[in-house]
């Protein structure tokens, strides 16, 4: 899986957007854990346009770490050490002076890693200024999603990034790839031999992937207005899951072998058409802070897609995600075909209950295979029962801890490649431009009625059930 074993580790992490939301919620806690687990030694420079100084950034970092990790502020050795490595550079990203200051702060750094945890509109400005100041030498760059907002802008952004950094120094983050249960999809498929014979159009009827959340856009209304569900989670997180489930076995062990196969999946996906997509918006979204009162932005979408390859021809993939749905969960259902002959009475009455695989990704992770088993009694009638193949342990590292460590070390296995990102945009590009209006849905429902119809003769959506044991899955 790993590549670039011989890459030199980065020695300084420069976080653009150090006083922002993502840094607060994800990055500082992840960095704390990196220091605690002793993965890496590094200096950190927070950059932001806020009127901050070193002390204020230290306060904010401490507060952010305190939100998720129980620490004793003045005594915690890891925290004291981490703060001693954390510096601050303030200034406007459009201003050359900011990059002069950054250059000074970086004078002892041999291999800086720049992390763009900033609004996407600023990516280009920062990359260009890093280049103008010659700060791109021997450096890597980590780019947060969304990587572009459609095919054209993703191509432009890739061009700008490639004008300053070689492709193998660009780390495009999709935090789903750092999740244990998602890494296991690749492992489970190719470390076992029993799946391969049935993993195709001959045995699989259709596939469903649901990523549901039981909360709204919270304080991210303004960001969400420029994104919507398709850009926010479908083009990246859900498509990455599709690629891992659909890809051919990689030809050899290594980053590029996997990327090559993922790319082929996006290349053989049929670009979406307006009728393949149902867009929904929860009632009340239009009055959320930062949201336009006549917004048509989708907070829910359900779509049907096809991969026109030898393995998958004719097998529909149903993807669905939304905010304010009944539960927070991520699940995959691989619905197998019915037996070709109806030998028993129950198959006639409960025809749609054929075998399936279920991959639960979140809140807890598990894999189940459902098979029919005869009930006791004279009649040949059975029930579908889930055989649990695996109950995954909680994650050792949260995705951001893992991905930041990998990026510092120069390991690209869990990042995305330019061509695959663009190919994924090409699939949804047509429906970004032309789509049906969003239908309203009630908070706490499974989205608009029209989503049910999308499945048509393939049955119905399999709704994840609430779980008693939560938080197996750190994010
Ligand atoms: C993010 C989206 O990329 O993924 C969010 O911007 C979404 O809107 C989140 O809530 C889901 O990630 P997770 O790890 O909580 O399943």
133 and 184 co-located in one domain: no
232 and 373 co-located in one domain: yes
- Within-domain flag for 431: yes
From 9-18, 297-306, 352-361, the region with the lowest mean pLDDT: 352-361
Specify the higher pLDDT residue, 343 or 63.
Answer: 63
How confident is the model over 5-15, as a mean pLDDT?
Answer: 86
Query: Which residues does a 6 A CB cutoff place in the pocket of ligand 1?
Result: 213, 232-233, 362, 475
| Number of Cβ atoms within 10 Å of the Cβ of 215 | 10
pLDDT of 351 higher than 60: no
139 and 185 co-located in one domain: no
Counted domains in the chain: 2
pLDDT of 380 higher than 80: yes
139 and 191 co-located in one domain: no
- Supply 330's token pair: 């991520």
Instruction: List, in sequence order, the alpha helices (H) in 221-325.
Output: 221-227, 229, 239-246, 255-268
d(CA 119, CA 146): 9
- Supply 370's token pair: 């459902």
- Within-domain flag for 467: no
CATH code: domain of residue 228: 3.30.360.10
The CA distances from residue 381 to 273, 345, 369, 394, 462, in Å, are 42, 6, 19, 38, 23
How confident is the model over 284-298, as a mean pLDDT?
Answer: 98
The residue among 314, 310, 279 whose CA lies nearest residue 297 is 279
User: What pLDDT, on a 0 to 100 scale, did the predictor assign at position 359?
Assistant: 96
The CA distances from residue 466 to 236, 274, 449, 452, 469, in Å, are 25, 32, 21, 20, 9
* Domain boundary, last residue among 144, 162, 186: 144
- Within-domain flag for 3: no
Specify the higher pLDDT residue, 450 or 340.
Answer: 450
74 and 211 co-located in one domain: no
Whether 237 is a known active-site residue: answer yes
Q: Select the highest-mean-pLDDT range: 86-100, 336-350, 377-391.
A: 86-100
**What range defines the domain where residue 441 resides?**
177-458
What are the beta bridge partners of residue 171?
Answer: 142
The residue among 147, 136, 141 whose CA lies nearest residue 116 is 141
Could you tell me the distance, in angstroms and rounded to a whole number, from the CA of residue 387 to the centre of ligand 1?
30
pLDDT of 396 higher than 90: no
- Within-domain flag for 468: no
- Within-domain flag for 46: yes
Could you tell me the distance, in angstroms and rounded to a whole number, from the CA of residue 147 to the centre of ligand 1?
15
The atom of ligand 1 lying closest to the CA of 399 is 14
* Exposure letters 338-373 (e unless 16+ CB within 10 A, then b): eeeeeeeebbeeeeebbbbbbbbbbbbbbbbebebe
Sequence-distant (6+) residues with CB within 8 A of 84 are none
User: What pLDDT, on a 0 to 100 scale, did the predictor assign at position 74?
Assistant: 79
pLDDT of 474 higher than 50: no
**Using the 8-state DSSP alphabet, how is residue 170 labeled?**
E
Contact 266, 243 (CB under 8 A): yes
What are the beta bridge partners of residue 387?
Answer: 369
The atom of ligand 1 lying closest to the CA of 179 is 14
| Per-residue pLDDT tens digits for 419-461 | 999 999 999 999 999 999 999 999 999 999 999 999 988 889 9
pLDDT of 228 higher than 80: yes
User: What pLDDT, on a 0 to 100 scale, did the predictor assign at position 347?
Assistant: 60
pLDDT band, very low/low/confident/very high, at 280 (cuts 50, 70, 90): very high
The residue among 328, 331, 301, 306 whose CA lies nearest residue 317 is 306
Tell me: cis bond preceding 146? Omega within 30 of 0 counts: yes
275 and 335 co-located in one domain: yes
Sequence-distant (6+) residues with CB within 8 A of 236 are 145, 146, 147, 174, 176, 424
Tell me: cis bond preceding 334? Omega within 30 of 0 counts: no
User: What pLDDT, on a 0 to 100 scale, did the predictor assign at position 391?
Assistant: 66
pLDDT band, very low/low/confident/very high, at 471 (cuts 50, 70, 90): very low
The atom of ligand 1 lying closest to the CA of 362 is 16
User: What pLDDT, on a 0 to 100 scale, did the predictor assign at position 293?
Assistant: 98
d(CA 445, CA 324): 8
pLDDT band, very low/low/confident/very high, at 472 (cuts 50, 70, 90): very low
How confident is the model over 149-171, as a mean pLDDT?
Answer: 96
- Supply 154's token pair: 């993703």
Of 215, 219, 233, the residue with max ligand 1 atoms within 8 A of its CB, to mutate for a pocket test, comes to 233
How confident is the model over 466-471, as a mean pLDDT?
Answer: 62
The CA distances from residue 328 to 183, 342, 397, in Å, are 20, 37, 21
Q: Which of 39, 58, 175, 237 is catalytic?
A: 237
Could you tell me the distance, in angstroms and rounded to a whole number, from the CA of residue 330 to the centre of ligand 1?
11
For atom 6 of ligand 1, which residue has the closest CA? 232
User: What pLDDT, on a 0 to 100 scale, did the predictor assign at position 473?
Assistant: 40
The CA distances from residue 408 to 121, 170, 176, 309, 329, in Å, are 24, 11, 18, 37, 31
- Within-domain flag for 351: yes
292 and 195 co-located in one domain: yes
- Within-domain flag for 282: yes
209 and 355 co-located in one domain: yes
How confident is the model over 159-176, as a mean pLDDT?
Answer: 96
- Supply 387's token pair: 């055989």
98 and 231 co-located in one domain: no
How confident is the model over 28-37, as a mean pLDDT?
Answer: 95
pLDDT band, very low/low/confident/very high, at 38 (cuts 50, 70, 90): confident
356 and 256 co-located in one domain: yes
| Number of Cβ atoms within 10 Å of the Cβ of 173 | 24
C-alpha 34 chain-centroid distance = 21
288 and 223 co-located in one domain: yes
CATH code: domain of residue 49: 3.40.50.720
The residue among 147, 135, 142 whose CA lies nearest residue 171 is 142
Could you tell me the distance, in angstroms and rounded to a whole number, from the CA of residue 233 to the centre of ligand 1?
7
The residue among 154, 419, 143, 155 whose CA lies nearest residue 261 is 419
User: What pLDDT, on a 0 to 100 scale, did the predictor assign at position 451?
Assistant: 96
82 and 125 co-located in one domain: yes
- Within-domain flag for 360: yes
């Amino acid at each position: 899986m790993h590549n670039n074993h011989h890459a030199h580790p980065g020695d300084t992490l420069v976080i653009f957007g150090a006083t922002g939301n993502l840094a607060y919620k994800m990055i500082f806690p992840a960095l704390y854990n990196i220091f605690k687990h002793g993965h890496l030694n590094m200096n950190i420079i927070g950059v932001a346009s806020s009127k901050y100084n070193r002390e204020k950034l230290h306060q904010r970092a401490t507060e952010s770490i305190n939100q998720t990790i129980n620490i004793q502020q003045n005594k915690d050795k890891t925290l004291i050490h981490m703060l001693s490595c954390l510096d601050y550079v303030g200034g406007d990203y459009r201003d050359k002076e900011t990059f002069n200051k950054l250059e000074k702060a970086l004078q002892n750094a041999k291999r800086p890693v720049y992390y763009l945890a900033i609004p996407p509109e600023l990516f280009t400005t920062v990359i260009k200024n890093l280049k103008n100041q010659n700060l791109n030498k021997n450096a890597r760059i980590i780019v947060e999603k969304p990587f572009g907002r459609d095919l054209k802008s993703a191509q432009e952004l890739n061009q700008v990034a490639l004008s300053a950094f070689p492709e193998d120094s660009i780390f495009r983050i999709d935090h789903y790839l750092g999740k244990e249960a998602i890494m296991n999809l690749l492992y489970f498929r190719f470390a076992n031999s029993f799946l391969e014979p049935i993993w195709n159009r001959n045995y699989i009827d259709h596939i469903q992937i649901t990523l549901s959340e039981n909360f709204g856009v919270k304080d991210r209304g303004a960001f969400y207005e420029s994104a919507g569900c398709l850009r926010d989670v479908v083009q990246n997180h859900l498509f990455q899951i599709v690629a891992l489930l659909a890809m051919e076995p990689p030809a050899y062990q290594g980053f590029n072998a996997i990327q090559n196969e993922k790319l082929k999946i996006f290349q053989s996906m049929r670009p979406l058409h307006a009728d393949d997509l149902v867009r929904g918006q929860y009632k009340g979204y239009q009055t959320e802070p930062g949201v336009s009162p006549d917004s048509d932005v989708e907070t829910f979408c359900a779509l049907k897609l096809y991969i026109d390859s030898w393995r998958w021809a004719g097998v529909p993939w149903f993807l669905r995600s939304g905010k304010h749905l009944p539960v927070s969960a991520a699940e995959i259902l691989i619905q197998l075909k019915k037996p070709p002959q109806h030998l028993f009475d129950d198959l006639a009455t409960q025809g749609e209950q054929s075998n399936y695989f279920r991959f639960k990704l979140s809140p807890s992770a598990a894999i189940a295979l459902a098979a029919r088993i005869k009930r006791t009694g004279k009649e040949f009638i059975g029930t579908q029962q889930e055989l649990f193949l695996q109950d995954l342990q909680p994650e050792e590292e949260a995705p951001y801890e893992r991905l930041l460590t990998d990026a510092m070390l120069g390991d690209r296995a869990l990042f995305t490649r330019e061509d695959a990102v663009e190919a994924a945009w090409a699939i949804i590009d047509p429906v970004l431009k032309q789509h049906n209006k969003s239908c309203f849905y009630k908070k706490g429902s499974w989205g608009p009625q029209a989503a049910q119809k999308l499945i048509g003769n393939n049955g119905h959506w399999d709704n994840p059930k609430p779980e008693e044991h939560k938080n197996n899955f750190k994010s």
